[in-house]
Amino acid sequence: MNIAILTSGGDSSGMNPAIKKFVECCYEKNYTPYFIYDGLEGMIDGKIKKASYKDVAGIIYRGGTIIRSSRSKRWYEKKYRKIAYENLKNNKIDALIILGGDGSFRALDVFYDEFKIPFMGIPATIDNDIPLNEYTIGVDTALNVIREAVDDIRDTASSFSRAFVIETMGRECGYLALTSAVANGAEMCLIPEVKYNLDNLKKRYLDEIKNGRSYFLAIVAEGLNISYKIKEWFEKEIGFESRVTILGHIQRGGSPTVIERLRTAEFVKTALDNIEKNPDKIVTYYDDKFVLRDLKDIVNSKYELDENMLALAKKLMGI
């Protein structure tokens, strides 16, 4: 059986260990591994090549993806998806492993409906916004990058009486902001999923200042697009000089953490153990287990943030 792997959408740390595990596992199972370079764009352009151990030597500790990725606009047009399908047939590819986020899974859903190419999907995005799934490859490394950045910002914030607004990635999903705010002891956490209350926060902050609070760390999700407004709010309403740090793409880099490397290996093994029996599934991580789910269930559901984490952060949202 010839199986091709591709990485699609925003890259995330852990994709490289997954690619390495994929090649090793294919050889163990007598499958022939192939790489599709440049994600869906590369499938359209026929960038398909047989992979060997040599290709994956020494990549386990590297962020990013050695087979590169893309966000394909051409994929929205059926004529390009047909070309992609023909490229798979010409290279005798029997099945696909796709690492990506919700956009990639939607792209896969359309492709499967049209051409029925067997596949296994593995959630990989720093956003952790895949429904019916609790962990996506890359989110742990991103959280650790944020932790380090917040620790560094705290050094300077605590040396002045200042408020720092730190903006995290995640598109419309507040997972990175929420988890980082709780893990790093921030005073404020604002995310798109929850209606925050600045008046309540103001009351609390003014009391805390009377009791000796001398700086603030506020974590704001990029999906709200209000980081500069919150900076002004701190200056006008709280009377604290304020600065904004947009963490940006550093959150997508970094050497994969131990958790990423271990879970990645299990994701890939589960995908390859099942690809012949269940050729249209997403491998999810749920309740500490790897669970196969129908792609349709994933694309037709909405992700939800963890209730316990939300409860821990309520105070930081003024509710």
Least distance from C-beta 111 to ligand F6P, angstroms? 20
Catalytic one of 11, 38, 102, 127: 127
- Cβ count near 150 (within 10 Å): 23
Q: Is 127 a catalytic residue?
A: yes
- Torsion angle of C-alpha atoms 262, 11, 38, 172, degrees rounded to 10: 130
Work out the angle between the directed axes of helices 258-274 and 15-28 (0-180°, nearest 10).
40
Q: Which two tokens stand for residue 270?
A: 């589960």
Closer residue to ligand F6P (CB): 175 or 216:
175
Q: Which of 39, 63, 100, 101 binds ligand F6P (CB under 6 A)?
A: 101
Q: Which of 171, 231, 281, 293 binds ligand F6P (CB under 6 A)?
A: 171
Q: Which of 126, 149, 186, 194 binds ligand F6P (CB under 6 A)?
A: 126
Least distance from C-beta 173 to ligand F6P, angstroms? 8
Least distance from C-beta 83 to ligand F6P, angstroms? 24
Closer residue to ligand F6P (CB): 223 or 318:
223
Which residue number has the CB closest to ligand F6P?
10
DSSP character for 62?
A: -
* Segment 51 to 90, residues that bind ligand F6P, using CB under 6 A: none
Alpha-carbon distance of 245 to 231, in angstroms, equals 10
What are the DSSP calls for 221-277, one per residue? EGGG--HHHHHHHIIIII--EEEEEE-GGGGG-SPPPHHHHHHHHHHHHHHHHHTTT
Q: Which of 21, 68, 162, 252 binds ligand F6P (CB under 6 A)?
A: 252
Alpha-carbon distance of 45 to 65, in angstroms, equals 18
Q: Which of 8, 13, 69, 125 binds ligand F6P (CB under 6 A)?
A: 125
- Are the C-beta atoms of residues 53 and 35 closer than 8 Å to each other? no
Which residues are near ligand F6P by CB under 6 A?
10, 101, 125-127, 169-171, 222, 252
